[in-house]
Amino acid sequence: MTGTADDDTGLARVECRVGGNAFSAATGTTTWSAQVSLTAGTNLIGVRSVDLAGNVSAVNTRSVFCTVPATLNLDIKGKGSVKGGTNGQKLTIGRQYTLTASPTAGYVFSNWTGDVISKLPAVTFVMQSNLTLTANFVTNPFSSKASSAVCSMRPTRCGWDVQATSRSR
């Protein structure tokens, strides 16, 4: 980062920090620069100057967002699709995303596995490095064949007696 500073009596140094870390000296005074290490997400940068008499200025702060991309490892088991992301897509670490699984005909969504586990078709997560998600689809266990069923119920002393018969067509 770079900046400018001035003082009536002259500057001894400019100091900067990221977050709650200790201040370190920048290179130069009236025109200065400093190398800082940012983390993924929001970083609070503070800069102050010290004049020749040793007086320390107020800290000037700026909030910056550091974007760090990471690859989404997305797998699909069974027959279905996922909206909101694709395998190999670069997503920003620290940001929230939602993926939604949709089964194809004859299948149902089962669950999400990997770094995030859920039984709901829509899964929300915060991107992190090496994140892996798998959308799992299984064959629909409910028969698509037409069938008929007969059900009878009669009261008993302890509840109900239920009898059912079904017939596939």
pLDDT band per the 50, 70, 90 thresholds, residue 28 = very high
For residue 1, the SS3 value is: coil
- Residue 29 phi/psi, 5-degree rounding, is -125, -75
Least confident of 77-81, 103-107, 138-142, 160-164: 160-164
**Cβ pair 59, 47 in contact under 8 A:** yes
Strand partners, 168: 147
pLDDT band per the 50, 70, 90 thresholds, residue 158 = low
Give the CA-trace dihedral at 126, 97, 134, 76, to 10 degrees.
Answer: -160
**Cβ pair 80, 105 in contact under 8 A:** no
Give mean pLDDT, residues 65-81: 94
Residue whose tokens read 């064949």: 145
Ordered by start, the domain boundaries in the chain are 2-66, 69-139
Fold of 69-139: Immunoglobulin-like (2.60.40)
Q: Cα(101)–Cα(112) distance, rounded to whole angstroms?
A: 9
How close are the terminal C-alpha atoms of the chain, in Å?
Answer: 76
**In the chain, pLDDT over 70 holds for what percent of residues?**
84
pLDDT band per the 50, 70, 90 thresholds, residue 125 = very high
Return the pLDDT at 165: 56
Fold of 2-66: Immunoglobulin-like (2.60.40)
pLDDT tens-digit profile of 82-122? 999 999 999 998 899 999 999 999 999 999 999 999 999 99
**Cβ pair 116, 130 in contact under 8 A:** no
Mean pLDDT of the chain: 88
Q: Which two tokens stand for residue 158?
A: 């302890």
Least confident of 40-44, 50-54, 92-96, 147-151: 147-151
Phi-psi region of 110 (alpha: psi -120 to 50; beta: other; left: phi over 0): alpha
pLDDT at 40 > cutoff 80: no
Q: How far is CA 48 from CA 5, 12, 23, 57, in A?
A: 9, 11, 9, 6
